[in-house]
């Protein structure tokens, strides 16, 4: 069975309470349940990880080497700033899908820049919780393609 790692970056632990008009009303726990259900449907195992700390996110990506086959990542605000997360994804060489709840391209200018954009397989943004679920399906598609 292929193994998927889903990573939530900073402030995503506040989902449900945080700007629900932008990020939706579902809590992270509710989103994680949907993630688990979709992974089950797709026949892959999934681990979910959230951190507000850049270094912890980097360490988790490093530790994914040899353990996970694909990564689905919402790096939160680190999307726009983190060379370290970008470098970690390149270093481990695990195919990654970048996802965002909101459409980062129709918000503030600073959000239109992604440090990961050219090191991930692709991006999914703007579909709320479905961005995660589409991201999982996209990651599984990549793994099947590579079989
Ligand atoms: C986000 C978009 C980022 O700009 C923001 O900092 C987040 C969430 C999203 O999922 O839409 O924390 O990644």
Pairing state between β 96-100 and 70-74: parallel
CATH number of the domain within which 123 lies: 3.40.50.9100
> Structural domain of residue 66, as residue ranges?
3-145
Question: According to the model, what pLDDT value does residue 144 have?
Answer: 87
Instruction: Write out pLDDT tens, residues 29-88.
Output: 999 999 999 999 999 999 999 999 999 999 999 999 999 999 999 999 999 999 999 999
Residues enclosing ligand 1, CB less than 6 A?
A: 11, 74, 76-77, 79, 100-102, 104, 111
Cα 101 to ligand 1 centroid, rounded to whole Å: 7
Pairing state between β 96-100 and 122-125: parallel
Cα 100 to ligand 1 centroid, rounded to whole Å: 6
- Taking the CA of residue 12 as reference, the ligand 1 atom at the shortest distance is 12
Do 24 and 128 contact (CB within 8 A), yes or no? yes
Q: What is the pTM of this model?
A: 0.97
Domain count, the chain: 1
Do 56 and 93 contact (CB within 8 A), yes or no? no
**Mean pLDDT, all residues of the chain:** 97
């Amino acid at each position: 069975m292929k193994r998927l790692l889903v990573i939530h970056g900073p402030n995503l632990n506040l989902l449900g309470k945080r700007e629900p008009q932008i990020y939706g009303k579902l809590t992270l726990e509710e989103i994680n349940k949907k993630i688990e259900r979709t992974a089950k449907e797709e026949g892959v195992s999934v681990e979910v990880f959230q951190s507000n700390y850049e270094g912890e996110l980097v360490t988790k990506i490093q530790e994914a080497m040899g353990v996970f086959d694909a990564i689905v990542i919402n790096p939160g605000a680190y999307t726009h700033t983190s060379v370290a997360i970008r470098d970690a994804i390149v270093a481990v060489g695990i195919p990654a899908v970048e996802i965002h709840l909101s459409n980062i391209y129709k918000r503030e200018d600073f959000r239109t820049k992604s440090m990961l954009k050219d090191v991930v397989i692709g991006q999914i943004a703007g579909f709320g919780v479905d961005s995660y679920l589409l991201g999982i399906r996209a990651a599984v598609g990549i793994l099947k393609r590579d079989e």
